[in-house]
Structure 1
Amino acid sequence: MYYGFEKVMGIFCNGTFDVFACWPHSSPGIVSVPCPPYLPWIKEGATGNVYKECTANGTWKPEENSSSLWRNHSECENHSFFKVLSIVGYSLSFSSLCLAVLIMSLLRAGSRYLIS
């Protein structure tokens, strides 16, 4: 008897944790699990899923030209978080550039008076 577990027969992918979500033992095909609530950019109560593919030979599908395993977590991304983060970053960068140009122009104007 198996309490709380399903007996998996034949070819299957082993259950694993890929630093994003816990994946159960799975038969070949597309596997989905709910978005993990412990990631900081995922809103609490998010209803999306993460997808991973179990190949016909019983291994998780790798990304092309990589040793990493393929995963589709697009339903879990909070685009507004990244948008705010990029706006803040670009604003700080632009402000620093303007300040640097202002300082350089003031120093250059001051050096003209010293030379003449």
Structure 2
Amino acid sequence: MNDDEDTLGWLGLPTPLQMYRQHCRLLENEIQELNLQLRKARADVFGISQMLLETQTKNIEFAGYLRERGAEAAVMRKQIADLTTSANVSRREADELRRIFNEMRPRPTTIV
């Protein structure tokens, strides 16, 4: 007969079997909680990966849009350069015509 086990009941202390069962329940609860956290983490990772795919798709679309706008900007820069060149040529021609006209105009003579 074990005196320690006989006194455990009236001292209010749990028996080793009761302690093992309690520890087992605690471990089961912890495992259930960890499984819930794992499911949530997996769902979060799936959501983040979906967001990444959507972002990459939008990035590809936006890159195409930027390429189109870049091509349009290049065409406009070429047009601006052509118009600037044309305006410079026209300005030089106008200056030359003014010079010729001024040379052809009679000069007033001053009488002294």
Fold similarity call, TM over 0.5: no
Q: Which has the higher helix share?
A: 2
Q: Report which structure shows greater RCO (CA 8 Å, sep ≥6).
A: 1
TM-score (norm 1): 0.37
Greater Cα radius of gyration, structure 1 or 2? 2
